[in-house]
Amino acid sequence: MPSTSARALSLLSMLTTGATLGGEELARRLGTSRRTVRRDVETLRELGYAVEPVTGAGGGYRLGPGGALPPLVLDEEQVVAVVVALQTTSSVLRGIEDANRRALATVRQVMPRRLRRDADAFTVTAVPNQWEFPAPPPPADVVRTVGGAVRRRELLRVPGPERSPLLEPHHLVVWAARWYLLAWDRTGEDWVVLRLGEDTALEPTGVPFRERPLPEGGPGALVQGTADRGDRLAPWPCTGSAVLDLPAELVARFAPGGAVVRRVDGCRCELSMGAWSWIGLAGLFTTFGSPMTQVQPVQLRDACATAAGHLSAAAHD
């Protein structure tokens, strides 16, 4: 059976998630009795941790605010999560590379030797895909400014004329290594999605707003289904466009990173994207299974004819 100190640290690690855990559940996970759990809870309280009892249905224990600062208590899976996250954040956020390195060194220094070996096994180098993500990751200051307004529920102003638009920032969404802000536009009275990047200029106002219910599907679905979200065409060697007989919202959800979708009408949209070769680009367009018109440039039209010949021959083989 683990020692009292080892059990207390394990118990503290479980409670730091913020969830309320029942005595029976804690006893099962610690491999001990509920009476021992109560003693370990008292041990933590004596050490200055605010472990609160929760009564009623679903009651148990939770770690309340205040009290002593918990030590770094990580299991093997948490070590992997922390180490990998710190090493890969720079591929989706710019300007925190030095902070990442220092944080990783600090975390590693306080790890037990056994967990340090696990951490060292996950030393990686994250290289952003320059083709798929044409714009560099947003600066940390941009995300900090916008994220702070989201957390505080304060309006953001879009710089411009005297009556510049006001946005209610509701959520930050990271999709395919791209950062988006989901906001309610008070001027247009509709939900908007903004891609965060180097040129993002949103000014905090300090004016609070009330949170409003999101459309069905939540923030992720809303971002994926929005065509006009500020995406940029990636600088592939071969780029082209075509009008598809599909709604812009549907194509936006499945278009590859670095593609741009423009609404033509309620049933059609223009899709622009790129690839390493013209025949490869033609193949990407065929994956949408839609009739295509206004195909540009001529090299893409020629590649579509070549692909059609290959597919026809394969169909009659």
pLDDT per residue as tens digits for the range 247-269: 999 999 999 878 999 999 999 99
What is the distance between the alpha carbons of residues 159 and 205, in angstroms, rounded to a whole number?
11
pLDDT at 135: 61
Position 178: which residue type? Answer: R
Q: Which residues contact 313 (CB under 8 A, 6 or more apart)?
A: none
Q: Quickly list H helices, 16-174.
A: 23-30, 34-46, 76-88, 97-109, 113-120, 140-152
What is the distance between the alpha carbons of residues 223 and 35, in angstroms, rounded to a whole number?
49
- 134 band by pLDDT with thresholds 50, 70 and 90: low
Local structure of residue 166 (DSSP, 8 states): E
Residue 2 pLDDT greater than 90, yes or no? no
Q: Which residue has the higher pLDDT, 193 or 76?
A: 193
Residue 1 pLDDT greater than 50, yes or no? no
Nearest Cα neighbor of 285 from 309, 308, 313, 310 is: 308
Domain 4-67 sits in CATH 3.40.640.10 = no
Place of tokens 């957390």: 151
Buried residues in 27-58 as b, exposed as e (16+ CB within 10 A): beebebeeebbeebbebbeeeebebeeeeeee
> Of 8-17, 41-50, 255-264, 278-287, where does mean pLDDT reach its minimum?
8-17
Contact 38, 23 (CB under 8 A): yes
Residue 107 pLDDT greater than 80, yes or no? no
Query: How far from 291 is each of 32, 107, 242, CA to CA, in Å?
Result: 65, 54, 10
Contact 197, 180 (CB under 8 A): no
Mean predicted confidence (pLDDT) in 96-116:
77
Residue 274 pLDDT greater than 80, yes or no? yes
Average pLDDT value for the chain: 85
pLDDT digits (tens, 9 = 90+) for 205-231: 999 999 899 888 899 999 998 998 888
Domain 238-315 sits in CATH 2.115.10.20 = no
Say what the pTM is: 0.68
Tokens of 46: 């004596």
pLDDT digits (tens, 9 = 90+) for 37-89: 999 999 888 888 888 888 877 678 988 876 655 666 667 777 778 888 888 77
Sign of the CA dihedral running 92, 94, 97, 99 = negative
Compute φ and ψ for 177, nearest 5 degrees: 65, 15
What is the distance between the alpha carbons of residues 263 and 246, in angstroms, rounded to a whole number?
10
